[in-house]
Structure 1
Amino acid sequence: MDLLQGKCLLNKIKKLIPAEDAMRNKTIIIFFFGAMWCKSPDCKVILQKLKELHKENLRRNMGLEVIYVSSDTSLEDFDTFYKTHGGWFAVPFQDDLAELVVRYSLNTRKVSFSRQLRRVFGITNVPNLIVVKKNGEIITKAGRQEIVEKGLNVLVTWTD
């Protein structure tokens, strides 16, 4: 997927992994846009359903992967919230910090990877789930609604 080319993702043990390696045997990518500050019942439901889905995917070896795209406001919030997730990947929070430092200190228009993803997919609120094929073709922008309505059965919908 072009969006991930040349990027690194953070795994659960806080190791940076080239995205190409992380997605090598994957066919579907779920971009999970969220933040620790989101305390609505909807946020909790989406996170729980996504954990169940990820666990079932691993059990069935269906080739699906989740990437957390943070809207957190601090590294501490990012770390705390990411610890509550399943064993999936995340766009490193440090990437956002580095980009912000560059943008404000040099007065450039450079945009962080998280912000690029939010812009590409038109994300204006959290939680949100965008499901894409590995080649970048969008399966659904209504992942949030579909996972709530269909539960684990969404695996069949997204992999057909």
Structure 2
Amino acid sequence: SLLQLKLWNKYRVSNIPSLIFIDASTGKVVCRNGLLVIRDDPEGLEFPWGPKPFSEVVAGPLLRNNGQTLDSNALEGSHVGVYFSAHWCPPCRSLTRVLVESYRKIKEAGQKFEILFVSADRSEDSFKQYFSEMPWVAVPYADEARRSRLNRLYGIQGIPTLIVLDSKGDVITRQGRVEVLNDVECREFPWHPKPVLELTDSNAVQLNEGPCLVLFVDSEDDGESEAAKQLIQPIAEKIIAKYKAKEEEA
């Protein structure tokens, strides 16, 4: 029905089952990942399951692969890549090899950047083996509750996923995987989203992130393509600003 379609669009439902919690007094979304919430908190101890800041969700000890521990407040003031990955996943292992080099280049450039590994491995031995290849920090494998909360915070539905945060813990991009693969020299770090992109196989997934304006250009001439980008740049900026305003209202 038309009402069902409106609700699907309003709450950006892309698959079912989907459970979204709403504040009845304001109509604002409290939680978009209701299924993960009731799985992780069946007793309702954290009800009403409102959004929490990254700093609160990640709070606790973190590990380095040499056994050293540090507190999560060591991440404060840095850009953070929250990396959801697992050794059993071939695309994850491929991305990790690229990400290690990206991490090194960003650090050598003097940028304040850290990566936080959130494991989806099936055993602690697999976690340790995989983590031994990583120069960054991780949530301890034994802390399943914290790993689940981070998955829930970002609505992770598949791996590998790299969420890039600014120094305040706000999301810059959910498409860190695409950015790392497309910018191997890390010249555009921290990869703030661009209003206008040239559509490729690797960034096509962003068509599902929100409203998009697609301009088809019947030319392979770089000059014409650049002129087309400049033409739709102000329109794209207005669409993004309007979309962000709606997100804040929701």
Alignment TM-score, normalising by the size of structure 2: 0.52
Q: Which has the larger radius of gyration?
A: 2
Which residue matches 1:37?
A: 88
Question: Closer, same or farther in 2 for the Cα pair 1:31/1:93, shift >3 Å?
Answer: same
Contact 1:30 1:65 in 2 (8 A): yes
Among 143, 157, 169, the residue aligned to 1:95: 143
Give 1:100's aligned residue: none
Letter in 1 for 2:62: L
- Deviation (angstroms), 1:69: 0.3
2:110 is equivalent to residue 61 of structure 1: yes
> Matched residue of 2:83: which SS?
strand
Task: Determine if contact 1:146/1:154 at 8 Å carries over to the other structure.
Answer: no
User: Deviation of residue 150 (structure 1)?
Assistant: 1.7
Label 1:58 to 1:31 Cα distance change in 2 as closer, same or farther (>3 A).
Answer: same
Residue of structure 2 in register with 1:28 after alignment: 79
- In the aligned structure 2, how far is the partner of 1:46 from the partner of 1:120? 22
Q: In the alignment, residue 164 of structure 2 is paired with which amino acid?
A: V
Identity rate, percent: 26
Structure 1 CA distance for aligned equivalents of residues 126 and 79 of structure 2? 27
CA distance in 2, matches of 1:71, 1:139: 23
Letter in 2 for 1:120: L
Q: What is aligned with 1:103?
A: none
Cα distance, 1:152 vs. partner?
Answer: 2.5
1:60-117 residue CA offsets vs partner (Å, 9 max, x unmatched):
12001000000011110000000112x1000000212xxxxxxxxxxxxxxx111111
Q: What RMSD in Å do the two structures reach over aligned CA positions? A: 2.0
User: Which has the larger helix fraction?
Assistant: 1
Distance change >3 Å, CA 90–CA 28, structure 1 → 2:
same
Matches within 5 A, 1:4-19: 6-19=59-72
**Superimposed CA distance per residue, residues 33-52 of structure 1 (whole angstroms, 9 cap, x where no aligned partner):** 0001102xx32331122101
Shift of 1:118: 0.7
Q: Output the CA distance in 2 between the equivalents of 1:84 and 1:13.
A: 11
Aligned to 1:151: 184
1:159–1:13 Cα change, 3 Å: farther
Q: 1:72, 1:78 within 8 Å by CA — same for their partners in 2?
A: yes
Structure 2 letter corresponding to 1:88: W
CA contact (8 A) 1:132 1:140 kept: yes
Write the distance in 2 (CA, Å) between the matches of 1:30 and 1:50. Answer: 10
- How far apart, CA to CA, are the structure 2 residues paired with 1:14 and 1:127? 24
Letter in 2 for 1:151: V
- Equivalents in 2 of 1:8, 1:149: separation in Å? 33
One-letter amino acid matched to 1:18: D
State which drifts further: 132-141 or 146-155: 146-155
* Partner in structure 2 of residue 81 of structure 1: 130
- Is contact 1:53-1:155 (8 Å) kept? no
Greater than 6 Å deviation, 4+ residue runs: none
